[in-house]
Structure formats: structure tokens, C-alpha cells
Chain A
Amino acid sequence: MKNIKTQLFSLLFVSIAFVSCSDSDSSELDTQKPTIAIQSPTDHQEVEPGSNLNIKALLQDETALTSYKVEIHSAGDGHEHRTAALDNSIPFTYENVFQIEGNPKSHQIDYSILIPENAKEDHYHLGVFCIDAAGNQSQQFVEIFIGHEHNH
């Protein structure tokens, strides 16, 4: 019986050797996603149509940042807040992709966009997406309101 057990363990050992490969490669792989800290706008911030929205965010990655995208879209998912149904307002959308030159480890976003006069008063999501050199992606969202947020 003892002999059999020895054989068994040696076989187990051999098969582990058969399948085990060097795992050293994994440690060099970049699996860390970039981080995004949105400083402006803040969550639930109100923005007047016709005014400038200041977008500020800090992007960081332990290897290299390559590009980011800023997106604003309606969050009106049946959560109705319509004030004037018969006006000429249209749902506002914004989207822009930027390449980050020189692949730095950290990048500060700081720019303004103009919210059109006729932007529909509604809840919106503002999202910042960021990709690093390895293709790892992260995103961060804040909810904003164009116009005045009405109580339920």
C-alpha cells in the first residue's frame, strides 16, 4: 500500500511538472487600470443652459496613459423631470476623445465646454473614460443637472 501511495504521489508530481509553466511572465504584465478622479463638476451639480461647464479630472496610471474620452448624455431613463414639453429644447450630448501626448503617468484634464441655450433641462451623466498603454480601461461618472433640479 505504501509503495502504491509513493507511486501515486510521484505521478501527481510528474503531472504537475507536465502542466506547470513559468509564471514569471505574469508579473511583468500590466493589468492595473488607470485611475480617474473627477474634480469638476461635482455630483448633482446644476449647470445653467448657455453657461460654461468646467471639466477637471486627474488621470493616473502606473505605466502610461494613452487617451481619454469625455462624454455627456441624458440620464433621463423614465425618471421624468420635463418642465416645458412644448419648447424647442433638445437633449444635449457631448463627446470628445483626446490623445495624451508623450504617454505620461499622470495627466490633468482642465477645459470648459459651452452648454447650449436650448439644451433640454434634464439629468445627465458626465463620464470620463481613460485607457492606458496596455488597453486597460476605467471610467468614472458623475450625475449633473442642466437647469434647475426640481423636487419630486
Chain B
Amino acid sequence: MMRISILIICLIHSVIVFSQNTLKGKVVDANGMPLNKCHIDWNAYCATTNSDGTFELQNIPSGSFNLRVKLDGFQTQDVFVNVPETTFVEVVLFTEDEMLDELVISTNQPKTYNGISVKSNQIKDNFAGSLAKSLENVAGVTAMEIGSGVSKPMIRGLGFTRIAVTENGIKQEGQQWGADHGLEIDALQAEEVEVIKGVGAIAYGSDAIGGVIRINNEKIPQENTTSGNVIFHGKTVNDALGASVNFQHRNENWFFKAKFSGVDYADFKVPTSEVNYLNTKIPIYNNRMKNTAGDEYSVYLQGGYVSDSFQSILSVSNLKSKIGFFAGAHGIPSVGAVADDGNYRDVGFPYQTVNHFKVTSSNKWKKPHSEWNAIFSFQQNHRQEWSLFHSHYSNQTAPSVNPNLELDFVLNTLDSQVNYSFETGLNHETTFGFQQNYQQNNVSGYSYLLPEYNRNNLAFYANHQWFVSSKTTLDFGARLDYIDMKTQGYFDSILYDYLVSNGKTETVAKENAQRSSDVHKTYLQTNFAFGLSYVMHPKWKWNFNVGTNFRAPTAMELSANGIHHGAFRHEKGNPNLKVERGVSSEIGLTFENGNFKSTLSPYVYYFSNYIFLKPTGTFSVLPHGGQVYEYSQSKALITGFEYALQQKWNSFTLNATFEYLYNKQLDNPKGNYPLPFSTPINLSAELSYAFKDSKITKQSKVYINTKWASAQNRIAQNEEKTPGYTIFGAGLQSEINIGKLKPVVRLQGNNLLNTKYYNHASFYRAIEIPELGRNVQLMIQIPF
């Protein structure tokens, strides 16, 4: 049987070979410069361009088909040819930087998932301090703010460990520490960001339920070039002053990049004169949140070797920041601590320091139809909270070493990933992958919050893409995960003695003094995904995907027990939590006609056991305790849609996005409440006017924008309702031609009417701290 099939294949092949054709062509870049070493292929036929950009495919059969043209650093393109009518093709490849809507031909196979690419220039256009905040213009993304310059991204109301943020393929760790921990990524240094909403579990595993924010900082500079730029920026809302420099060089095979950034900011301004913490009215002098100043410095070094068949890139980065906590809201509400001392730039107690260090080595072996990838990474997250020694327990004394170090976390993570992908013909691509992630978390400080833990995650996955036709792509994936989680118990004898001396029974004292318990859990998980993309019509494209996803319970969720001062409540873990599991599905529908483009993406997530903090209705015996919140599981439904549209009329462009989110618990005996932190219905729109280029200015535009959000009255148990709001902004930007220097100037104003409003996803909402007031921001970027 086998022999017969081989014979048949040979016969078919020989028939094809009889109709021999030769196709010649040339590949150039957007400036018409020939591109060397481009890979051109169709089925088993392939060629590589010479130094003059030309190639030749011999002995190809007659027929019409798509040639795929690939080069690192450029967007892959499929070119339709009809042999033997076509004898010569000229292909223009655009760099990944160049905007997609400037492409004339874009016959790339569409992706089966909803991915939104954000180029580094767009991040600079929308720069708002943190990366999460800068991505807010992407439909479906919101930033959960936890103080000045600190924010966490959320996709469709899912945040924290329900979304994954990866840099060069490696997941950014540290989010497990809880809500008041931001993302240690310098927005100005991100070269390219892709927001993948929905199904991401196959390639990223646990945590990628809501989506993935994929940062790529491994863009390879073009051969024999040296370039760089300097950025200066400042803003009025917190008197921030910052600078960023980056430099890159490549000869034929070796390249090097260096990036440095620094920013220093003062207490931020809010349009309010008092906030409310535990019913204590805390005055805000001169609309400045006392002690919210800080700074952040980062360095990024990267070197690599690139050749046709092999590339290896080593990246080292370190980000360091110091951020004050609003003193009135840490520990005991304190009117005295917020008094204006005439200095807005100093950081006093309490404050946090964060240091994030990461080394990544990524390696690639390429053959025309297969590729090996191996990535190894070590990252260390070190976070400290400093606060003048204080205790709620009268019997606790300050430690002799570092008496004011309240909390200290060191999380070490080792990652290794290997995958192999190969093409079978032009129509099939299969990937097999292995991932390992090992974590160790150590804690110290006079206070206690999060347990020490060791976590090991091993995973195997496979993915198969089938390019059924130039219109249809199918995607199948499966993944197996094994997770081993061990948390270390901690008994707080100071608390025990305190509770006993206050007349609590031994049982109650023991229960509360056991701040975390020894928990050892293993989880075995299988997940599946299916994706489909279909080009219905040149103007209509849609994709559909459905998949299971999961998230392993975190150390906090399994074994925390005590007051979390960042969240202002007593939180209790539950060692019996099962892996959070869900099924999600979404549709992406894009219609594009000339100057009009619109994308609609409805989605639905169903969780059989969504993990969240539920109020128990029972009081905590701890001072300031309020009621105990316990991590519990419930069936839950999340659904909604995002709609984005773009319309151009001559020099005017309108961009608008609309988001609708609906969610609820499905089996809460007290009623099917919505989930906490649900994004309200919101709409943002921006109208811009592009000026014609002049001798001095290029690509100039002015814009006005607005964001409207409805009131959020659908709240979880014991959450606060949030009123709706409308805010306005405006800006202008231009590239200015002065001799050799061509600076790009961006001036923007946000919340121009200084509106007092609240973000439903803000932790500071609980103590009535509104969002930032009026902000005018200037950024000057000078390329060289």
C-alpha cells in the first residue's frame, strides 16, 4: 500500500515536472532598494534573493498560486501569480514599522485570532506614563490604576493573573503579588506590542484567559545601519520630567542595542480637596496627593548574531522605581501625614521600591521549511514596602535590622521554552512546544502578607495551521500542563499573643495567627483551541475561535489570611480551590471599504469556577478588619463586544471605539451578582486633521478626543457604584525639519476640563481618590 502511494506521488510529480516553467522576480523595500536573502516559496519550490534582490524559481508547474515572500524585520507577503502567463514579479516588502493601511497589496493569510498590533510610534502618540495606560486606546483594554504611574492592564474586565504580559516570549512575573503591583515595563522602550484578546491559552498557558499583551523588543536592525533617538518628555499633572535614549547598530551579522530611560515626578494633582478613608475626611492640600511622587529608571541592553540559518539574541534589562504611597491611606487614616510641607517632589514613608531584572536568551535555527526556537530566561522581581514601623498589635516591637521595612518580596523565575515548527507544503504548519516555568518567592519584613512558595509548571503543546485556501485558514491546538505548587505556612506568634491577651479564645487566636498554611497542590490540565479565519469578500473578513482556558490558583488565593493594606480588607485564601476553568469564544468581523474600516468583536466566556474574593458577612477579629473576604469559586459568564471604526474624509480621520461588557456570577445563593471591577459601557472617539507636508513640517496633525463612560451600577457584593463621566482631550504633533535634526513634537492635553471622575477599576476608588486632573504633556523625539 505504502509503495503504491509513493509511486502515485512520484507519478503526479513527474507529470508536474513535464510542464516546466521558470518564474523570475525581484524583491525591493518601500524605497525601491533591493532586498537580499529574502525567502520565496510555494509548496516544495523555494528560492532566495541575491544581493540585487532577484530570484528565480525553476521547474514549477503551470497554474495560479500564492508565492510567499519572507524576510526578517519585514511583513511577510503572499503574491498571486499565474504561471506561465506571469514570468516576472516585483514584490515590495514593508518593514514591520510601516502602517498596514499604507499597503497596497495585503494578501497575507489573516490570523485566526483577534490580534491588534500597536507600533512603538502609536505608544508614543498615546504615551500616558505606564504601558497599560498607553494601551487604553485599544478597544477592550482598560488600565486598573493603583497610584501615580502604576497601573495594570485589563482586557474585558479581566486583569491581574487573568491576562499574560510577555516580553520576547517570556511571561512577565510579579503580578501574583496582588493588586497593588504594577507592570515593570518601560512603555517608551517597547518596540512593538500586540494585544491578543481572548483565546491565548495554547501558546501561553495559565493566566492567558482574558488575553495576552505581547511585547516584542527583538526587532533586528537592518544590515550596516546605525540609528537611534532621544526622547524628552514632561507633563503637568505630576510635574514629570523624563528622558529616554536608544541606540542601535548592526553590521552584517552582529547587532547591538542600548536603551536608557529615566523619569522623575512629583505628587500628582487631582480635582478634589478631600478624600474619605474609613469615614475620616482627609484633606488634600492644593489638589496634590501628598507623597505620591516617585521615579523610575531603566536600562536595556541587547546583542545578537543574525544569519540566514541561525540567530541568537541576548537581552539584559533592569528597571528600578521608587513610588510614594498616599500617606493618608496606608495603615491608619492620618490627617497629619498629608499636610503640605512645601515640597512636592520628596518621597517619605510609606513608599515602595521595585527592581525588576531580566536576562533572556532567544535562539532560532531556521531552514527553509522548518524552525527551532529556544528561549531561556531568568527574571527577578524584588519589591519592598517601606513604612515607619507601626503595628496594630501593642505587643509587637520594631525589628533591629531595617526597622521600617514592612514587606519584602523576592520572586525568582526561570523559564525555558523550546519549540519546533515545520511546514508540510505551503498549506500546513505544525508546531510542537515544551515550556517550563519555575518560581520561588521569598518574603520578609515586619508585616506579613503573601506566603513563600515554590511553583513549577511543565507544559507540552502542539498547534497546527492549515491554510486551506488563500481565503481560509484553520488552526487547531492542544496543550497539557502540569503544575506543582507548594506554599509555606507561617504562624504569627505576635498576633496570637495579642488576640489571646484581648480575650479571644485559643481557637480563634490560632485560626487568625496562622497567616498562611502549608499547601501542596498539583494540577494536571488539558486544553484545546480551534480557530478559523475566512475572507468572505475582499472587503469582508472574519475570524472565529473557541477554546478552553485555565488558571492555576495563586499563592494568595490558596493560603493568604490577613489584612491586605493595598486592598483595604481582610482577605482569606482557600486551599481547596480548584483550577479556574473556562471556555471562551469570539468572532472578529472586519469590513474595509476604501476610507472606511470597521471591526466588530463579540465574545463570550463561561467559567465553571471563576475565583474571586467574596464577602463572607462575618467580621474579622483583626483591628480595622471589617468583614472577611474569602476566595471562593462560582460559575460565571462574561460577554460583550467591542466595535471600532475608522472613517477618513480627505484630511480628516475619525477613530471611534465602543465597548459593552456584561458579566455575572451564576450560582451565588445570595443572588447572581456581577463580577467585581466590571468595565462600564464606554465610548471613545478622536477626530484628527492632517496637514499637508511643508518645507518645515511633515506628518503634522491636530486632534480632539473624548471619552465617555456610563455609570456602573451593576456591581458585585459590597462594591461601590461609580457615576458616569465624559472627559475631553486635544493634541497636536508634527515632524519638524531643522537641518539634519528632524524632531517629532507631540503636545497633548488630557482631561482638559479638569473633570472629577472615578475609574470603576481603580483600587483608590474605595477611598474616593478620583482620577488625575488636567494634564498637558509634551514629548520631543529626536531621531539620529
Contacts and interface: CB of A to CB of B under 8 A. Distances in A.
A joins B in a complex: yes
A103 B640 CA distance: 38
Given A77-B331, A134-B671, A137-B627, A31 B619 contact: no
B433 interface: no
Contacts of B643: 12
B394 A91 contact: yes
A115 interface: no
Given A79-B334, A137-B626, A19 B717 contact: no
Interface string B606-646: 00000000111111010110110000000001011101000
Contact of A19 (B390, B619, B660, B670): B660
Interface stretch (A49-57, A66-74, A105-113): A66-74
B400 interface: no
B388 interface: yes
A11 B540 CA distance: 12
Nearest to B621: A95
Contacts of B713: 26, 31
A62 interface: no
A34 B186 CA distance: 44
Contact of A77 (B337, B640, B674, B721): B337
A137 B337 CA distance: 27
Contacts of B718: 33, 135-137
Interface in B708-722: 713-715, 717-719, 721
Contacts, number: 129
B621 A139 contact: no
Interface string A6-32: 001001100110111101011011110
Contacts of A21: 637, 639, 662, 664
B336 A11 contact: no
Interface residues of B, number: 54
B219 interface: no
A67 B627 CA distance: 10
Interface stretch (B230-238, B291-299, B356-364, B585-593): B585-593
A71 B674 CA distance: 31
Given A69-B619, A93-B502, A139 B279 contact: yes
Contacts of B587: 15
B602 interface: yes
Contacts of B624: 71, 73, 127
B278 interface: yes
B598 interface: yes
A83 B455 CA distance: 52
A31 B715 contact: yes
A77 B335 CA distance: 9
Contacts of B640: 19
B565 to A, nearest CB: 14
B604 interface: yes
Contact of B394 (A8, A11, A23, A93): A93
B672 interface: yes
A48 B442 CA distance: 47
A15 B641 CA distance: 8
25 contacts: A1-B593, A8-B591, A15-B641, A18-B639, A19-B603, A23-B714, A25-B671, A25-B672, A29-B672, A31-B715, A67-B619, A77-B336, A78-B336, A78-B388, A90-B394, A91-B394, A95-B621, A127-B279, A133-B670, A135-B670, A135-B717, A136-B717, A137-B627, A139-B626, A143-B280
Given A21-B662, A78-B337, A135-B627, 12 more contacts: A15-B602, A19-B604, A19-B660, A21-B664, A23-B662, A25-B671, A31-B713, A66-B617, A77-B334, A135-B616, A137-B615, A137-B626
